[in-house]
Chain A
């Protein structure tokens, strides 16, 4: 009996070993984003969405090519550009060919430069940069390169759609612009001034200022200035703790107009805003959550909630990244030759389960997609955020936003 146990154990062991040897190597995607510090919650939620998307959309469907699975490898960059470059090097040294990053355009600017240089010097270990959230317009304009793909709409595209809504509201006469003091905050402010000037020159911009990113403990003094300026509406690109702090503070201190934002949902924010921000906070985003874009998306969302009961799909574009990458790898017939994969991604048209068509513009690698402006509310919400009963309800849609917008990108392509 004892011998039999030993024997069968040995047999099982060898079978297990054999199985791993047969299975093809995973396609690894390095996820370089903050996993500690003040912005950790944003980063970790993103990581969960990546891991879930890879499982649900690729691995459970038998993988890509001949059964290769996607594997997300997390790297903590503490939201520092310097740390990100170190992590990028570590990822490259581990043989990873796909880099996903999104939080902070400052980091993305550093990464895209580093990757461009690396790819020119090391043709044998080139990598692709899948930017899923860094929206500084420069990344697909002056600083564009062949290796960088942006799956989120850039700050200009978002502001174009957002100002459509503002321009349509005749009650808004004065606008206050406030943002975080770095490339993205400045880009948002510049875009807001530009588009408001074009669409409604009668709107007065009564304030335009930047505050230190991630360092403001109490937004009360800023709220006082905003109230004092007599603004009818606020535009902000703030995210994470800065968005929550600003939003709560202006509402508490007596501002009663709408707040137009880029990122005021999920990561505990929706729950913390709760009833106080109902009908007040508006948000520009891609992907339809309420009402949901498709039956497939509904199933995915329910499965995600079953796995992460406290999580949200607040960055549905992550699923587009995984879906489009899988499609490109299938079409290229290889995951190792990133030039072939990149050429498939260029100009790709893809039907997103979150509704609408996606088009990766080949001249600047900016994804063109439907943009939605939604409102923070608890009515008609199927999928709430933070289990709070509140969520974002789509109010208006711009189809294929900024499809024909100009770009200054002059892309150099490898032979």
Chain B
């Protein structure tokens, strides 16, 4: 029973981290129609910037400064790269961001090397915050949960309650009218891209110490972020949160319990083939849930695309 609660907390951490990554991506997509392949690379940049800053000024300065730096880099990419490519249509944009992802990975390798860098959690957050029976809940995880929730709340507030948010939403649907009213729409786009990448940067800063900071970290998370926003519905912030949490809990529970395919199959009335090793289905019968945990989100995505192509909360087709 306690284990379920612990797994719920662990899944929540994974989900919220994924949300912070996908929030930026879905925001950028809904605003500019750009699928940013380099998004996970900004997440990696966040981790590396924070590591570099933390060696001089400590973790907290890293948390404060690194996302800003990433945001500035992101805004620069939009201003001097994407904006020029934009006029040629969506395919060149895709290719541009794809190339950018490769470039950033090579740059990171060039500057910080191929090894993991020793980016550590701050001392004050080391150790357990509390224990549920014999399971430690690390203080750092609690910190991650709170930080993500604060960011989600702030984002929601800015987008729905403030003047800036209204302009952004208006620019989303009627860019020409907004421009005619005297607002600088390209500036809005640049801002959104900057904030979106900065969000990815925050995710990198707080994930770096626990998921380890190495040049492959963008690659490992790159595809799952896209799965998240497709399941949630392209352009929907609430959908991204929902999908991220579903994925977090789905993978956590699948890994934490050894559900065997054998039990499921016999449960629904199939007979176990004897001898098993001779059967064409032996691979299927010997599967366990931890083995397939990481492909479950992709399975879910396929199902969503078949039955609800615009995602859980999306308003438009993928």
- Which A residues form the contact surface with B (CB < 8 A)? 37-38, 40-41, 44-45, 181, 209-212, 215-218, 220-222, 224-225, 227-228, 241, 244-245, 248, 252-254, 267-269, 271-272, 274, 310, 386, 388
B216 touches A253 (CB 8 A): no
Q: How far is the CB of B86 from chain A (nearest CB, A)?
A: 31
On whether the beta carbons of A268 and B214 are closer than 8 Å, the reply is yes
Shortest C-beta distance, B3 to chain A (Å), equals 6
Do A268 and B216 touch across chains, with their CB atoms under 8 A apart? no
Q: Which residues of A contact B253 (CB under 8 A)?
A: 221
Complex Cα distance A38/B115, Å? 10
Q: Which of B13, B210, B214 contacts A41 (CB 8 A)?
A: B214
Asked whether A252 and B138 contact (CB < 8 A) given A38-B216, A216-B294, A224-B3, the answer is yes
Checking A217, A248, A253, A388 against B136 with a beta-carbon cut-off of 8 angstroms, the contacting residue is: A253
- Chain B interface, number of residues (Cβ within 8 angstroms): 42
| Residues in chain B near residue A216, CB distance under 8 A | 294
Please name the 4 residue pairs, one residue from A and one from B, whose CB atoms are nearest each other, closest first: A268-B115, A268-B116, A254-B136, A221-B255
Bits for B290-308, please: 1 = Cβ < 8 Å to A, else 0. 1101100000000000000
Task: Find A222's partner among B109, B212, B215, B255 (CB 8 Å cutoff).
Answer: B255
Contact of B291 among A212, A271, A274 (CB under 8 A): A212
- Alpha-carbon distance A222/B290, docked complex (angstroms): 9
A-B contact pairs, 21 of them (CB 8 A): A37-B216, A37-B219, A41-B114, A209-B258, A209-B290, A217-B220, A220-B13, A221-B252, A224-B256, A227-B136, A244-B212, A245-B212, A252-B136, A252-B138, A254-B135, A268-B115, A268-B117, A269-B116, A272-B116, A274-B118, A388-B118
In the bound complex, do residue A41 and residue B219 qualify as a contact, i.e. CB atoms below 8 Å apart? no
Q: How far is the CB of A17 from chain B (nearest CB, A)?
A: 35
Say whether B3 contacts A228, CB under 8 Å.
Answer: yes
Interface string of B13-46 (1 = CB under 8 A from A): 1100000000000000000000000000000000
**When chains A and B are docked, how far (Å) is the Cα of A212 from the Cα of B251?**
13
Instruction: Answer whether A227 and B212 are a contact pair too, CB < 8 Å, given A215-B294, A220-B10, A221-B255.
Output: no
Residues of B within 8 Å of A254, CB to CB, are 128, 131, 134-136
B6 interfacial contact with A, CB 8 Å: yes
When distances are taken between beta carbons in the complex, the residues of chain A under 8 Å from B128 are 254
Give residues 215-268 of B contacting A (CB, 8 Å): 215-216, 219-221, 224, 251-253, 255-256, 258
Whether the Cβ atoms of B135 and A227 lie closer than 8 Å is yes
**Complexed CA–CA distance, A72 and B221 (Å):** 34
Contact call B216/A224, Cβ cutoff below 8 A: no
- Interchain nearest-CB distance for B115 vs A (Å): 3
Interface centre among B210, B219, B221, B224 (most CB of A within 10 A): B210
Known: A41-B116, A241-B116. A218 touches B211 (CB 8 A): yes
Whose C-beta in chain A lies nearest to the C-beta of B224? A217
Residues of A within 8 A of B211 (CB): 217-218, 245
CA distance A56 to B6 in the complex (A): 53
